[in-house]
Structures are given as structure tokens and as C-alpha cells.
Structure 1
Amino acid sequence: MSEYDYDLFVIGAGSGGVRAARVSAAHGAKVAVAEEHRVGGTCVIRGCVPKKLLVYGAHFAEDLQDAKRFGWEVPDCKFDWPTLRENVLAEVDRLNGLYTQTLDNHGVEIIQERATIEGPHQVRLASGRTVTAKYILVAVGAWPMVPDCEGAEFGITSNEVFHLEALPKRIVIAGGGYIANEFAGIFHEFGSHVTLVNRSDQILRGYDMQIRDRLLQISMMKGIEFRFNAPFEKVVKQGDGSLLVHMKGQEPVECDALLFATGRRPKTEGLGLENAGVELDGQGAIRVDDYNRSSCQSIYAVGDVTNRVQLTPVAIREGQAFADTVFGGNPHKVDYGSIPSAVFSHPPLAGVGMTEAEARNKIGSISVHTSDFRPMKNVLAGRNERGLYKMICNAETGKVIGLHMIGPDAPEILQAAAVAVKAGLTKQDFDDTVALHPSMAEELVLMK
């Protein structure tokens, strides 16, 4: 008999925690998962999945207009927010059930309670019960940050935005990252007047400058307003229920809803990690080694709570690596090189590998190839939006070290192209590939 109640106790049933629990159980471990909210985590319940469904819904605004240019008699259409909201939430419920079923099918015990750490091998549940485990895996993810200013309580975050009772006529979105820009596009297409407020002078730091500048240009042409270098001072709720947002050095902005999309912080507060001597970094993230082990030998962590790469597929890879290493007899690390990422803005953008600025700093001798074009559909639809594809190569070897694009279906195209970048293919390999015509993706093999 084991001296512990479980071989593995997972705190948090998000993407990383579920994968780690399921695979560990498949390797023969006795596993339990504690989740204080719903099984599925940020991505499934309040993140990328419901948000992508809103993105799909928003695209119909332009598609319906474009259809007229393609010969379709489209009557004036009215958008109904409650219908989309309820359908999206129903899909979230379905996925929550599937994730729960997956854990059940693998014999993982699900405990619907908050769990905190009492010691290297001990966990306390909200009910007061304590359990022991040979290993503890922390996979609680991250939580939206809210600026510390007067009246901040009148705003909402990406956690609450999917539950809005009504579509705001005017919305202020705070932030310049992918969440802010995605919701800016969504609400604009739904008919809201959108003002994006950012404390710095740029959007989407970390993405290639040409690509993000193109998104800014297109967004402004659509009518989205931007306020840069505008840190919040206070938020005032007015008599009619509207909000007046005050920013330093800017005129106040009146709105009906305020969405904070100002980043996410690892959700470690109050978790009891100090009881086991688990070290945190300056952002409150759990410090881990290449094998996801914390400073406490029996406690591991994966996903956003480690603040390495805050992406769902990365958390899943980390959960798999943890399970295979600890219970599968196959120690291995996650390769963080050439991870593709996307922003589901309007239009979307995506990238993999180094940006031009990074390549110039790290390699020096590079060649840059671009294709700046107007997609065929946009031409007939009468839209002036242009796509931009950009390839960065090592000038000496010809190896493609970065690929970035903005335009319709850019994330779908980049996923396949990312394989080529990961495999270390060269510009000549792209040039030697016959174009698939007519398509937007063919621009990848036609760049000069």
C-alpha cells in the first residue's frame, strides 16, 4: 500500500492539468484533480474557445456586406447579441462535459473544490479535508490584471465579457495586447463604437513591427479609435449608468462598458506555496526547471502559472512532458523554439520565429522578403484591405528564421508554414515549391 492517498494530485483542471492528469492515469498512477470553477480552464471556459466563436460571429458583419458584390440579394440584417451569447455559453457547457468525461474515462477523481498546499505532500480542500500525494502538480493558470485606479471596479475583464446582458453602444478597451485587439475587432463588427486605450505607444509588442503597424492602419480605417500613452487616472460612474474614463494627458472618454485587457498574472496568491518552500519569481509565477519541477522536489507546475509561454498548446505539451517524465519512464523537455502564435483580430495576424528586429539583433546578416497584396476576394468586394506576408532569412545559409503575416485566414496558413520553419527549410525550398493558384497561401512561395 502507498503511504499517500494519491500518486498525483493536480490543482487546476485547465488544458495543462487535464492533459497531465489523463496521461499520468494512463501510465498507471492514482490521480485526483481539484478544480474550484469548471473543468476546461481558461481556454475552454473563458478564453480562446468562446472568444474564437465570437470572432466567427463577428465576421458575418463583413461577409454579409461582401455577399452583395458577389450577386447575393442580402436584406438588412440585425444582430442579436443574446442569441450568440447563449449559443456560445451552451457550447462551453458541452466542452466542459467532454473534458469531465475524459477524466472520468481515465479513472481520474474530480474534486470540485478549491485546494491549497499545506506541505510538500499535503493538500487542504475547501471543505477542510486534507489529502496526501507523492507528487503535486500546480496548473491553476493566470488571472486578468486590473489597473489600480479609482473606479476600476466598474470595469470588467475577459472573464465577464462573455456574459454581458446587452451589447454596449460604446466600449473602452484597456490594453494593447492580443486580447485587447481581438475584442476591439469583435465589438466593432457587432456595431459598438470602440476606443482602445493603451498606456504605451504601441500595440502587440513581440510581433513584427510591419505586421502590427498594418493592423493598426486597418483598424483605424475601420473606425476603431486609439488612445496611446494614456495611463488610467480614474473611472467615474455617471447618473445614467454610463462611465467616464479619465486618462493622464487625454480628454475623458464616455462609454457604456469598460473592458480591462491589460495582461494576466499567475494565479498563485493564497495557494499556500510558501508552506512547501516553492519559490516564485517577481511576477508571482512558480519557478520551475526544464522538467517542470519547482524548488520543492515533490511539487511541479505547468501552464500559465509558470509564466513561460502563455499559450494553451504549450500548457498541453508541458502537461504531457510532466506525465511522461514522472510516470511514463520517458523523461523529456518541451522545445520552446519556433512556437507559432496568432491574433484573431480583423483581419487576423500570425507569426513564427524571429521578428525582423530580433533577427537583426541576434544574427545581423539577414535577408527580408515580403509580399504586399490585395486578396482576390477583397478586390471584388470593394475592400481596400491589403495582406502582408513577410519572410526573414539568415543571409548566409538561406534558412527561414521568421515568418509573419496579416490577412484573411493568416493563422490557418501559418500553421502549415510553421512546420517548414521548425524543420529549418530555406528560402530556396519555398521557391522550389510550385504555387497553388489562385490562393493567398501561394504568396509564400512567390516572395522576392
Structure 2
Amino acid sequence: METVLLPVTMQDFERLADRSAAVIGRLRDRVFGRETGKTLDLRFNVRTAAEMVGRSEKLIREAEAAGRLPEPATNPESGRRAGYSLAEVNHMRAVFGTLPGRAENERALVLSIQSFKGGVGKSTLTCHLAQYLALRGYRVCVIDCDSQASTTSVFGLNPDVDVEEEEDTLYPFFRHGGPQDLGYALRQTYWPNISLIPANLGLYDAEYEFAARMARDSAFVLDRLREGIDTIRDRFDVILMDPPPALGMISLSVLRAADALLIPAPPNNIDFGSTVHFLRMMSSTLDELARAGGARDYAFVKILVTKMNESKSAHQAIHRMMQAVYPAELMQAVLKDSAEIDNATANLRTVYELTGPATRSETHRRCRAYLDAVGREVELLIRKTWPSHYDALRKEGLL
């Protein structure tokens, strides 16, 4: 049949991909230079540092005067204190014995931000939660299991330039005869206390290789990631996984490796329906995985309402319905829709990284409050998995 439309060839697709990659490249070059990479510019005054450390300003000053803590840097122009970096705050926590992590005989919690649907805020939640926990003083590892590599980009790496699939991602670990320790892929980020295992498009090849191997060696496929995480678990307090938004072999491996699940769910009809289907698929999938590799229990499974817009009556109605349907599973905190998150993400940043005048607006304060509320609730769930925290939680009235 004749048509006035010209056919779209493979060459056209290549040109389209090249133009798109050029735009992303310019964005990344604008946000963080390829030579210098991203840096963390956060500084905390002594009052904020004291709150973070859990000691008084007076004790901090005395420790500095006694030489237990280094004298803070001063601004050469004003002669005033420049403020403390996060690394310096964590050093204070170590000196005063207020670092919040697990006891040595306890295991790091592996938490997956799990959804089989894109666009629900999975990577956004992963990055902000990792940074919230790092601000609190926890040692965090982020494992980007998604070949789209959004989390990798936010943490300052260009997946197409800075990440080699054969050396830097999970891909070589998933291959037969690959490394036996995930330490090869760990990268320290510009955030103190956050390490990253990055991703890039090459990670997608692992899906095909895993699928081909599943029939003849299901135990290797299902438990490979869990076994790899065990080789690095003792270096961290919390390990966050950002899996692909699809029910593939990597997602199945993530389900087997996780100790707990956090499911982001926007309160609209389509996404709520997707959440219902996701939970049904999870039930049957976990049953199949149990038959193939043994049952797997979770410390907790929580649903978090994301992208909530309270001005929309439909959002409010679905949120109320979710509260009724999931009375124990739904988190009390809600991650509301915010232009602050969108604007930060457009610059490959997070709300926690913003400094200067951008942090003084009411929009920023509200958004920060939403994020902090989510972080506090997740932090409490994590602490409840560590018996060494029980006495403190009882004193705080949280247990």
C-alpha cells in the first residue's frame, strides 16, 4: 500500500539516539564537569552540628579547645567559621560515640525500593533516602540494578562515559566465572558514607544471560546477588537497591537478596491499579521463587504513597482507600508532589544537596519536611531490625 510517509530506517533510529545522547551529555557537562565531578557543598553551623551529633554546642567547643576535635576552618575573607562538612560532623559523632549504626554482630539491612512500573518515583526515593541516612551518620551502599542508570547519574557518574560494563557494574558478577566479591564494583561517592555500585545500559545484557541460564542452574541465578551482597555487607549499615521497573531476572534476584521491601505507589487510578497487580504478581512470584530456591521472609514490607497532590480530590480519595486496604502496610509519611524535587532532578541533583538561597523558600522547607518524615519512618523500621537499638527505642517511646 502506498503512503506519503517516508519509512523510518535503522539509520534514523541511530541519528535519533545520537541527538538524544548529545542533549544528555550537555546537561551532564553543565551540572558537573567531566574533569572535576560532583562535590558536596553542604556546611553546618555549630548549632546544627550539635543537633546532628547529639551533643551540646558547649561540649563541641570544649572538645575543640582540648584538641579532641580539630579547629574548624575559617573563611579567609570574613575570618568567620566556614561551618562543618558532613565528614567533620561524622568525625564528631565518632569522637562522642553517637554514630547511629548497627552493632558489629548485627547484619546490615538490605532494602529494595521495589516496583515493576516506571514513573513511580523509585530512583528519586532511593537517592533521597540514601542521603537522608548518610546525613544521620549511617554507612550506606546504593546498588543501581537498573540499566537506565538514573540513580548512577544523580550520584555524579555519566553511565556512558564513567562506567564500564565489564568492570564497574553488576554485569561481570552475574556472568559465569565472574568475580566472587562485589567489592570490585564499589565506588565511594562525593557523599561521605555513601558508596555506589553503578549501572549502565550494558547491564541489560545480564537479563538475557540469566534467562538462558535459569533452566539449567536456577540456584545460581536466584541467589547470586544475595551471595554477592554478603561479601560487602559488613562494610555498611544499610544497603539500598534500585531494581529495574520490570519483572525480569535481575528483579527476581533483587527480591531474593532483599531483607525488606519499600513499594512506592502514586495515588491515582492507573498507578493504584498497577500497585494491585504488582502485589498480586509479587505473591505468585515469591511462591515460585520459594519452590525454586527456598522460602524468603522479609523484615518488613511497606507501601509509600508518592507524588501525592492534596489539591486533587481523586488523590485524596485513593489515599483514603489505600489507608483502609493497607492499614498496617501503608506508611504514615507521604511523599507529596513537589516542584522542588522536579527542579533538583532536572539538574541531576537532590533536594538534600541544595544550598544557599534555594533552601530559604517555603517550597523547599515543605519538601524537605516531606522527605525527612519519610526518612525518619524508614530509619525507625531499620533500627527495629537491630536488637542493639531496642533499649534506646524504648527510652524514646518508639518500641
Q: Which structure has the greater CA radius of gyration?
A: 1
Bin of the TM-score, shorter chain as denominator length: under 0.3
Instruction: Normalising by structure 2, report the TM-score.
Output: 0.26
**Normalized per residue, which structure has more helix?**
2
**Normalized per residue, which structure has more strand?**
1
The structure with higher relative contact order (CA 8 Å, sep 6+) is 2
Instruction: Normalising by structure 1, report the TM-score.
Output: 0.24
